Amino acid sequence: MIAVDRGRYTCVRPDAGPDDPTITAMRARELGRKSVVVGDRVGLVGDTSGAPGALARIVRIAERGSVLRRTAEDDATTAEGRLERVVVANADQLVIVSALADPPPRTGFIDRCLVAAYDADIEPLLCLTKADLAGPEAVLGYYTELELPYVLIRPDSDLDALRALLAGRISVLVGHSGVGKSTLVNRLVPEAARAVGVVSAIGRGRHTSTSAVALRLPPTPGAKGDPGWIVDTPGVRSFGLAHVSAESLLHGFPDLVEATVDCPANCQHTADEADCALDAWVAAGKADPRRLASYRRLLASRSGEGDARGEAEHRGPGEGDQRGPDAPPAGS
């Protein structure tokens, strides 16, 4: 299933070519309250010809290989925290799109996406746009210990490196509004005709996409095999993690995991834990102190002590502050 709009679901056959018609379907009543989301593999009955006016029915949803979720808030005791949204099903790569400037990078938001990716067993890829406006050193330095795969995008980039990383995969793109995600999608799939917004003077973009949609990547000349699919998602301001357990939250920080072996039983890893081994680990230079601070902010926000949206909206390095060009990225 590649798109949903007002109760109508757009589907394609697994063996369909790029010029084959799509199939419009509706949910069958026997599905009950089961949700159907972009990326789901479904069983159809009825008119599956794809002809104008034809309507099929979705009668079965196959078991999902992966489920990428988010909540509006981190705290599961709130209504927003309990409202869990499935972003996409069956993706195998999460492409985290972040601008290097205008708007500045938010490492707090990237950390959240990494936690969600690891929790869903989806491989992350960091896509840094607007590389003509600023260098990637501050952001990449923050993630040195993770060996996080990344790609740099400039307006004149040929996108070959990115296409190679997308080939044969179902990749879901997430990012703040204004980071150039829709522009990137339009370059990858020219016929997508996704709206491109203009970033306002204060560095905040308008939401330019309103619903997730899966797009088939066009074949690359000379390349063999499946070019892959991308799932474009609406620009988001926060990525709540109320659905992620405190234990799984740590998996988004693999550079800290080894230290917890020396923690006492039932250690909560917060700053109040006097014997938490994470502090000694960082003090010994084995992890970046900003990474520990970010992890503990997420722990605090789970208990209602933090502000998910405020964290995601932190400014980037040197953006309206006095820290200088060598300062670490904000939101860390």
In tens, the pLDDT along 272-314 reads 999 999 999 999 999 999 999 999 999 988 777 655 444 443 4
By percentage, how much of the chain surpasses pLDDT 90? 62
Indicate if 79 and 223 belong to the same structural domain: yes
CATH code of residue 284: 1.10.40
What span, in angstroms and rounded, lies between the C-alpha atoms of 194 and 31? 31
Give whole-number Cα distances, 214 to 42, 87, 113, 168, 210, in Å: 15, 12, 19, 14, 13
Please report, in angstroms and rounded to a whole number, the separation of the first and last CA atoms in the chain. 36
The average confidence (pLDDT) of the chain is 84
pLDDT for residue 11 is more than 70: yes
Q: What band does 130 get if pLDDT is binned at 50, 70 and 90?
A: very high
The answer to whether residue 324 sits within a structural domain is no
Q: What residues contact residue 170 under an 8 Å CB cut-off, 6+ apart?
A: 39, 90, 91, 92, 93, 214, 228, 229, 231
CATH of the domain at 142: 3.40.50.300
25 inside domain: yes
By the 10 Å C-beta count (0-12 exposed, 13-18 middle, 19+ buried), 126 is classed as buried
pTM of the model: 0.85
The share of the chain scoring above pLDDT 70, in percent, equals 84
Q: Are residues 218 and 152 in the same domain?
A: yes
- Say whether both 40 and 57 belong to one domain: yes
Identify the domain boundary among 61, 78, 110. 61
Strand pairing category for 150-152 and 170-174: unpaired
- What is the token pair recorded at 157? 């980039």
Q: How far apart are CA 126 and CA 89, in angstroms?
A: 20
> Do 195 and 150 share a structural domain?
yes
| Domain assignment present for 32 | yes
Same domain, 144 and 250: no
Split into its structural domains, the chain has a count of 3
The helix/strand/coil state of 24 is strand
Structural domain containing residue 26: 3-61
d(CA 29, CA 289): 52
Residues 53 and 71 in one domain: no
285, part of any domain: yes
pLDDT at 233: 87
Task: Give how far Cα 315 sits from Cα of 100, 106, 222, 237, 300, Å.
Answer: 11, 7, 42, 13, 20
Using alpha carbons only, what angle is made at residue 84 by residues 55 and 107, rounded to the nearest 5 degrees?
Answer: 115
- Distance separating alpha carbons of residues 128 and 110, to the nearest angstrom: 11
Let me know whether 105 and 37 are in one domain: no
Among 68, 130, 135, CA closest to 98? 130
More confident residue, 202 or 38: 38
Whether 92 and 153 share a structural domain: yes
Q: Tell me which H or E stretch contains 213.
A: strand 213-216
H or E segment to which residue 102 belongs: none
Last residue of a domain, one of 198, 232, 266: 232
Q: Give the residue, 234 or 280, on which the prediction is more confident.
A: 280
321 within domain boundaries? no
CA-wise closest residue to 56 among 16, 12, 22, 26: 26
State whether 194 and 117 are in the same domain.
yes
* Mode of pairing for the β-strands spanning 93-99 and 170-174: parallel
Average pLDDT over residues 146-163: 94
Boundary of a domain, candidates 232, 261, 280 = 232
pLDDT exceeds 70 at position 205: no
Q: Is residue 323 part of a domain?
A: no
Alpha helix segments (H runs only) across the chain: 79-82, 107-119, 137-142, 160-166, 181-188, 246-249, 254-257, 277-283, 289-302, 308-312
Is 42 contained in some domain? Answer: yes
Peptide bond into 136 cis (omega under 30): no
* pLDDT range class, residue 27, cuts 50, 70, 90: very high
Give me the residues paired with residue 151 across strands.
Answer: 127
E strand or H helix at 10: strand 8-11
| Same domain flag for 222 and 297 | no
Residue 270 domain-assigned (yes or no): yes
85 with 215, same domain: the answer is yes
Is 169 in the same domain as 218?
yes
User: CA torsion angle for 167, 214, 171, 189 (degrees, to 10)?
Assistant: 50
